[in-house]
Amino acid sequence: MIDGEPLTLSRLRGSVVLAVNTASRCGYTPQFEGLESLYRAKAASGFTIVGFPSNDFRQELTGDGEIAKFCTLNYGVSFPMAARSRVTGPHANPLFAAIASRPAPTGEEPSWNFTKYLLDRSGRLVARYPSSVEP
């Protein structure tokens, strides 16, 4: 997690998860507001969002602390945020590497920031939403 704690799969077990690759300095960054609103509206029903900050498209801040502060102060983000990591290429974090190995239209690596991936309660990838789709 962005606060240094590990993100355990048991924490997500049984939840519907929206995994989003994020960046603090992107034209889509205001989507944090919609993501937070969606998270607050659906969290009680077993839905969660996990943000995955990445500089793969050269629009993310340098440090995890700086990213966390930006997200909290500017958008009130309270959903879990992973530590900054790669989401594309051979060094992608394990979740995004697994997503990239899946065929389109649900799989494939993100082509830009704020690509959203929906996983069902069993952890199966069921949908992919491009950056332009609002939360």
DSSP state of 108: S
For 80, half-sphere exposure in the C-beta direction (CA atoms, 13 angstrom radius) is: 18
CA neighbor of 22 nearest in space, from 126, 115, 117, 107: 115
Residue type, 98: A
Q: Which of 26, 43, 97, 100 is catalytic?
A: 26
Q: Is 71 a catalytic residue?
A: no
C-alpha distances (whole Å) from 25 to each of 11, 37, 83 are 29, 20, 16
CA neighbor of 123 nearest in space, from 102, 105, 108: 102
| Cβ within 8 Å of residue 42, ≥6 positions away | none
Active site residues: 26
